A = this chain, B = another copy of it.
Amino acid sequence: MTEGRREPRTRGHRKKERTRRQLVAAGLRVLAEKGHGLTVSDVVAEADVSNGTFYNYFADRDELIEAVAEQSAMALAAAAAEEPVEDPARRFARATMRMLLHARADETWARVMLRLVGRPGGMGVDLSRYLREDLAEGPAQGRFDAGPDDTTLDQVAGLVIMTIRRMVEGQDWPDTPQRAVTRGLRTLGVDAAEAEALAAEAADSLG
């Protein structure tokens, strides 16, 4: 959107890009260790660059966190995409379940994802993207009853977000992820029985 350093053109520039990766990697480590009290000072110390350099790559502290989260989310999405699951509904169920279980297992990550909702560009990038792909194929295969219009996408993404939120708040039950996945499938037009079955299957094989 704003800058998005695309396609480093020269090999020199490409080498410079390493600094950004250093910062993101350092951010990930610091975030993992100190949870949410992440400090720019910590990160630059860990990455072994100066304070000023940090702001050459990120507008503010949150933008680094966002980058870390995006990388994390992408790793998850990539893992989901590697599975050769044909049925879009089943793929959706598995990807969503994977995300919810990950959120439950790693609270820091979950909180970061939640914060992303309140950020300008965040999340339209990660969460939605990996959902949109599944949603697009559904109707073509007669799996879902509606195309992935904006509102449907909002609703499914919103369900995931609010479910993560519920888990972070500790107001969840053991079957919260499964119920959320069931809801998501039903929202997409999968009938009740099948939605239950797919969600249960995903919960069994991933949980």
Is there an interface contact between B179 and A166, defined as CB atoms closer than 8 Å? Answer: no
User: Oligomeric state, in number of copies?
Assistant: 2
Interface set of A (CB-CB < 8 Å, partner B): 111, 114-118, 120, 123-124, 149-152, 154-155, 157-163, 165-166, 169, 171-173, 176, 179-180, 182-183, 187
* Chain B residues closer than 8 Å to A114, beta-carbon distance: 117-118
* Chain B residues closer than 8 Å to A187, beta-carbon distance: 155, 187
* Chain B residues closer than 8 Å to A117, beta-carbon distance: 114, 117-118, 161, 165
- Ordered by A's residue number, 10 sampled pairs between the chains whose C-beta atoms are within 8 Å are A116-B118, A117-B165, A150-B172, A150-B173, A151-B163, A151-B182, A155-B155, A155-B159, A158-B158, A187-B187
* Chain B residues closer than 8 Å to A157, beta-carbon distance: 158, 162
